[in-house]
Amino acid sequence: MKVPILIFGAALQPDGSPRRVLISRLQAAIAVGKQFSCPIFIPTGGNPCSGNTEAAVMKNYLLQAGIAPQQIICEDQARNTIESVRYCSVILKQLKYQPKKQIITVISSAYHGPRCWWLMHLAGWRVHLAPAPTISASRSFFKRWKWRLREIPAIIWDSFRFYLKPY
């Protein structure tokens, strides 16, 4: 069976190109994928920018890195982390993966990874978190800490939202 690797998106540049933080996540996914004989990459993220979704940009990056097209399944509708979890859970079930049995590898940034891990866990999946190498999402000290600190209430808020409306 193919090993699923979920790659959580990040906002694109205004011109639709990937930011450094997204490239870092993609490089981590490629490195993790090399550990398995048959990985399947699931880039997730909608939020179009200049006509490109996060998932489409990630797919192009993976293709340019030599990943075969049949190893990539895009989820390009999610507008946020909780929607990524919901939509990816549907895709995983369509691919015949079973919650509580299959380990899902999740790739995101170190500051965002715990929320991704927790929400996938709430969705019933066994999760292995493989955070991308630490790279500043911003050169601004205050923005970096703002993004890190916002994860605390986001975990609580998304947990509540997930409880009210599981996928």
Evaluated on CA atoms 24, 68, 90, 127, the torsion sign reads: negative
pLDDT tens string 58-84: 999 999 999 999 999 999 999 999 999
Residue 111 scores a pLDDT above 90: no
pLDDT tens digits for range 21-30: 999 999 999 9
pLDDT (average), residues 37-45: 96
- The residue among 48, 46, 53 whose CA lies nearest residue 88 is 46
Mean pLDDT of 49-59: 95
Closest by Cα among 156, 112, 150 to 132:
112
Please give the domain boundaries of the chain with CATH numbers for all domains: 3-164 (3.40.50.620)
What 3-state DSSP class applies to 146? Answer: helix
Q: Which residues pair with 42 in a beta bridge?
A: 6
Q: pTM for this structure? A: 0.87
pLDDT at position 9 over 60: yes
Range 43-48 average pLDDT = 94
